[in-house]
């Protein structure tokens, strides 16, 4: 059982694809629920012969408790969690001195706090 945050696109999608290709089941957790649903359907369809599958869930990893809740729910429903990719991330570009308070908050929440939350809950 696996979770890939930010799995609807890019590197996260590639990680999720590797799981289903090996016959695993992956939860694609992404801010963009529509893209996550489309990716999960495409990966499941492409790996039907391998027995792998994917499901989508709309999650904003920056929301307090969201990643911890996701890990807890998936672990409980599937009885195990083998692989957790805290992949969701954003690039905030530009001169640091010109960042707004809000840009700092979002960058720290998505790129740092959410990763710590996912790792902390996954550690036995
Ligand atoms: N692509 C690179 O060259 C590169 C380099 C260094 C680090 N990274 C890191 O690797 C990770 C993936 O990069 P990528 O290029 O595939 O990015 P991407 O932009 O292609 O995909 C990121 C995915 O994360 C999702 N996402 C964004 N904010 C989210 C949130 N708050 N909650 C849930 N999902 C959210 C997006 O909807 C998207 O599907 C990121 O953490 C990125 O910072 C990428």
Indicate if the pLDDT at residue 122 is higher than 60. no
Asked if residue 9 has its Cβ within 6 Å of ligand 1, the reply is yes
Q: What pLDDT does residue 121 have?
A: 52
Nearest residue (by CA) to ligand 1, atom 15, is 10
* Reported confidence tier of residue 120, pLDDT bands at 50, 70, 90: low
Closest ligand 1 atom number to CA of residue 89: 41
Percent of the chain at pLDDT exceeding 70: 96
Percent of the chain at pLDDT exceeding 90: 85
Return d(Cα 98, Cα 93) in angstroms, integer: 10
Return d(Cα 124, Cα 121) in angstroms, integer: 8
pLDDT tens digits, one per residue of 67-113:
999 999 999 999 999 999 999 999 988 898 999 999 999 999 999 99
Closest ligand 1 atom number to CA of residue 90: 43
pLDDT tens digits, one per residue of 11-66:
999 999 999 999 999 999 999 999 999 999 999 999 888 899 999 999 999 999 99
Q: What pLDDT does residue 58 have?
A: 98
Q: Going from the N-terminus, what domains does the chain have, and what CATH number goes with each?
A: 2-122 (3.40.50.720)
Asked if residue 108 has its Cβ within 6 Å of ligand 1, the reply is no
Asked if residue 109 has its Cβ within 6 Å of ligand 1, the reply is no
């Amino acid at each position: 059982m696996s979770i890939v945050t930010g799995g609807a696109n890019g590197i996260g999608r590639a990680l999720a694809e590797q799981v289903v290709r090996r016959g695993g089941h992956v939860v694609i957790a992404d801010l963009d629920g529509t893209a996550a649903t489309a990716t999960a359907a495409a990966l499941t369809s492409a790996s039907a012969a391998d027995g792998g599958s994917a499901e989508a869930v709309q999650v904003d990893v920056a929301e307090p408790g969201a990643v911890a809740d996701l890990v807890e729910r998936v672990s409980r429903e599937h009885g195990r969690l083998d692989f957790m990719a805290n992949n969701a991330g954003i690039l905030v570009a530009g001169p640091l001195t010109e960042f707004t308070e809000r840009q700092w908050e979002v960058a720290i929440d998505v790129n740092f706090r959410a990763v710590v939350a996912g790792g902390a809950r996954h550690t036995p």
